[in-house]
Amino acid sequence: MPSFRTTLVLLAACLGCGMLLWVLNRSDLRAGRPASGAPGSLFPAPLRETDYLMIERNGYRAELQRGADGWMITHPLSAYASQTAVQRLLDSLERAPLRARIEAHELALRELTLADFGLLKPQARLVVAGPRARAELMLGQLTGTSNELFAGFMNSGDVLLTDPALLAALPASPFALSDSSLFRGERRRINAIGLRRSGQPYLKLAREPGGWMITQPLAARADETAVAALLDALEEARIARFVWPAPDRPDDAGASRPSQLSRFGLAEESEQGVQLQLWMTGDPVGRRIRLGTPVESLPGHVHALAEDGPAVVAVTNTLDAMARQPLAALRDKRILVFAPDALDLVTVQGMEPPLALRRGAEDDWELTSPVAGPAESGQVALLLEALLALRAAGFEPADPAAAATAGALQVDLAGRATAWRLVRAGGSGGVEATVRIGLTNETTAYQVPTSQWARVDALLRCPATFRSRTLVRLPAEGIRRLAVKRADGTQEAVEREGNAGAGWRSSAPDRAINRVALDNWLQQLAHLRAARIASLGTDAGADPRGFDAPQVEVTIDLTAQDRLRRILIVGGPAPGEGRLAMVKGDDTVFVLDAETCLLLEQSFLLPVEPRVPDIDTTRPPQPETL
């Protein structure tokens, strides 16, 4: 009898221990601590061939398909997907770890089902498909410690444990994967832009080798900065919201599309919006973007519709503002565009005396009117710079008779390949804010601020400043003889003893050469510059200028040049300071500064040395007397 009682007690104890172990084991499984399973990757194969994704989460369902243009959202509506966001999701799927596996037979032994892990009503469901494989993944509940997530594949009874970060990587809505860019293309491929705006003429811009040009409604240069700002706004336009079909009502897509587009100002015949046509290299059809009415619930945004995306969206209104700019805002405000080095001829008519400049054989500017002679290159550069700096403040229809108006000025510029004729129309005689400038063969005239034209006018009104201030430029090795005649009647001369490398000899046997003074003379003659130009023309008033009785007359004989002799004449005092001077044969009166005049008055010969009388050796020495 005692043995029977002992047996029953032991049997009951065994049953109790077995039940306790079963309960504990079941609790461990549900807590995410399985008895078997090897760690690894949740997806055993790379997902690089994936071309279809389906995501169900939070009551929405999104489908994405990869095509020739990348990933597209195909459900709940058609839209471009963010290639970066989709790739980031695929990367998260590839990196998702398999921390443990509970096989189906283990679940059966412990009387557990997929419902116990939240896999019959999962938090999210994914379908990842490619040309050779398809996988459907359910994401269930978190473990008791919330550091692992139950998951399972369709048609598999196994329960898998993975990182909860996989659930966090899934988008909260289908539009979280959409591309926020309104324009999806390469800016550098855009070669033409068409703008159709209500109340304004159709405007077309074309990219040409020299830059952007306006081809309609007129032919003119476009403002490169304005076009760049328009393209910047196109690139930076971002979709802030999907308006129609609404994200929470995707079935709206089938509702009266024409009426909806008209409601948002996006219909073809709408008078409210703006249409942009973009022609791309390699795409003759181009792309079209429509911008409509403002979004009342989202200030600073307008309705938009891209031809490659059927959804009506809300985008920032910067692009709309840039596209509505008037024609004048997109025109190049520069009057002239040329490279100064490419010009060969500049003539100015309508002023007295006329001004004419041409580029010589050695690429130096020469003055041909009002006198002939070398031109002051710095002054020519200032004139060209002032012409290039002209900017239009406005535009008006060109007047064909502008050149015939009183006070009109005509500037002709010619180069190797192009030529321009600029006509500044005559004014009314009063002070005006702008001057009217037209170019030949252009249908519009430019309104240029008077303050800008004043700089050009001041230069043109002083033709003497365009004459080079260089009197002579004679290297020392090219001078054969140098003779000076002064007002007091003294004369002196030096000449070379032989070739250019030989020394100098004085024409006066009793006077030696002052080498320092001669070197100063030669240095000055190598490039003798005047302080300013007194006048162009020497035919009148010679006596008052002192050229008939010069202060200094310098005759320079040369070894080999077009003219073998140059005569420099320094006359009377100039107004202010310095002296008037001229080169014989040239029609220009110069003003030499006082320092240069002092140097030219310096003798390059030493004074005559006093002669010591010879001692008479025939007479005996006389005794000294006290």
Tokens at 592, concatenated: 């030499």
For residues 267 and 366, state if they share a domain.
no
CB-based contacts of 85: which residues, under 8 Å, 6+ apart? 171, 176, 177
Residue in 66, 62, 79, 76 with CA at minimum distance from that of residue 125: 62
Neighbours of 129 (CB within 10 A): 16
Q: Which tokens hold the place of 150?
A: 């139950």
Q: What is the pLDDT of residues 593-619, one digit of tens each?
A: 999 999 998 999 998 876 656 666 666
Q: By the 8 A CB rule, do 315 and 239 touch?
A: yes
Residues 418 and 384 in one domain: yes
In a domain, 232, yes or no: yes
For residue 539, being part of any structural domain is answered with yes
Cα atoms in the 13 Å half-sphere on the side-chain side of 14? 6
Question: How many H helices and E strands in the chain?
Answer: 13, 39
pLDDT at residue 34, rounded to an integer: 37
> Is the residue at 413 inside a domain?
yes
Note the pLDDT of residue 309: 64
Instruction: Answer whether residue 10 is part of any domain.
Output: no
524 C-beta neighbours (distance < 10 Å), count: 16
pLDDT in tens, 511-531: 899 999 999 999 999 999 999
Q: Angle of helix 377-388 relative to helix 450-460, nearest 10 degrees?
A: 160
Do residue 482 and residue 390 come from a single domain? no
Whether 476 and 461 share a structural domain: no
246 and 317 co-located in one domain: yes
Strands of 272-372 (E only): list them.
274-280, 283-294, 301-306, 309-316, 343-349, 355-359, 365-369
411 and 506 assigned to the same domain: no
Task: Please say which residue of 123, 144, 177 terminates a domain.
Answer: 177
Q: What is the pTM of this model?
A: 0.71
Q: Show the tokens assigned to 552.
A: 């200094």
Q: Which residues of 415-447 are buried (b: 16+ CB within 10 A; e: fewer)?
A: beeeebebbbbbbeeeeeebbbbbeeeeebbbb
> What's the rounded Cα separation, in Å, for the pair 123 and 138?
8
Shared domain for 280 and 162, answered yes or no, is: no
| 209 shares a domain with 319 | yes
pLDDT along the chain (626 residues), means of 10: 67 65 46 45 87 92 91 85 92 93 90 91 94 92 88 92 93 86 89 93 94 94 96 94 73 67 85 90 86 93 82 92 95 93 93 91 89 92 95 90 81 90 76 87 91 93 92 90 92 83 83 91 93 79 71 90 82 91 90 93 85 62 61
**pLDDT for 23:** 46
Three-class SS of residue 329? helix
Q: Which of 159, 177, 195 marks a domain boundary?
A: 177
Distance of CA 591 to the CA centre of its chain: 46
Residue 474 and residue 462 share a domain: no
**In the numeric block, which tokens belong to residue 301?**
């945004």
Domain that includes residue 545, residue range: 470-600
Helices (H), 31-82: none
Q: Evaluate whether residue 170 is within a structural domain.
A: yes
Q: Count the helix, strand and coil residues of the chain and give each as a percent rounded to the nearest 5.
A: 25, 35, 40
How many domains does the chain fold into? 4
What's the confidence (pLDDT) of residue 457? Answer: 92
Domain end call among 118, 149, 177: 177
